[in-house]
Structure 1
Amino acid sequence: SEKMPTALIHALALTKRAAAQVNVDLGLLPAERGAAIIKAADEVLADRHADQFPLSIWQTGSGTQTNMNMNEVLANRASELLGGVRGEERKVHPNDDVNKSQSSNDVFPTAMHVAAVIALREHLIPELKVLHKTLSDKAEAYRDIVKIGRTHLQDATPLTLGQEISGWAAMLAHNLKHIEDSIPHIAELALGGTAVGT
């Protein structure tokens, strides 16, 4: 589908949740409203409102539409949690409360970074480690099988199949380290508290 990926929706909900908590901690948002926004964000993280995010991935680079979609979903649900009726009585405002101290130009890139770090830590890196172990095990298992090396479409020096596979394992280990080393840089967030990110 061309809908916004669930991982990005979850990362955006995490960002809104964190912003609500910080705004409460700083005295910028009433605690009751902040708690309702946090609860609503937790519900989004639990996929309880997945049908409320119908937008396509094709939108402005700043992600304004998705940011506002999240603001509206969280504001409506938080209003309900505070006793309001969806669409009638707004106890939590999407811009003034949910989007407080944020800008789409800050929030959307932050959500992309959060989604990327989560994907790396929870999916790619663990899978690459499994693949590396598998290759290392095969390199050991095939260490005595001799084969002819190949270079430029011709036979070359003999080597073992284990040596060849160990080269793949070494390359994978090297690149896995590069991926792991990239996480602190990806984890740097764009949030700045104003429309221009200052």
Structure 2
Amino acid sequence: MERYGIRILEGYGVTETAPVLAMNTPMANRQGTVGRISPLMQYRLDPVPGIEEGGRLSVKGPNVMIGYLRVENPGVLEPLPDGWHDTGDIVTVDAQGFIAIKGRAKRFAKIAGEMVSLSAVEAMASALWPQAMSVAVTLPDQRKGERIVLLTTERNADRAAMQRQAKSVGASELSVPADIRVV
């Protein structure tokens, strides 16, 4: 960036917010965040069981769409509940209003009542095996609700390595996949 004399500022948007939701600006920016909520918009964080820090982000404002048209009900607009759009993103908002995205609500496993980020599991696999492609998925588990399965191209992948990696980054034992499958 410095080589070309440009400055890149991160922002965040979703189609339903036409498209900007938050942005860093030259006068107000914080590294590691997507900036502050756009002017005239409101936000709320809905608690998610098992997530201690932050919550599920919903937004409302003049740039938020008014509803959805569904294939199963042609020509009928399904309005948003009280005008709030649920982004499905898990975020934190600091005291100055800067938003940090932690993950997608659908990208968490609920294991024994605790929420475990599948992205964090994938990051651990990536740190161990940077040349491999890996993805963490969930499967139902009779005892714990869900379990994590890691699919990877790393032929030597094993749980012991993932356990060591989890310990080294301070992650819970719950973030270690119950099963690893080489694909």
Structure with greater proportional strand content: 2
State TM-score, norm by structure 1: 0.27
Structure having the higher helix fraction is 1
Larger radius of gyration: 1
| Alignment TM-score, normalising by the size of structure 2 | 0.29
Does 1 or 2 have the higher relative contact order (CA < 8 Å, sep 6+)?
1
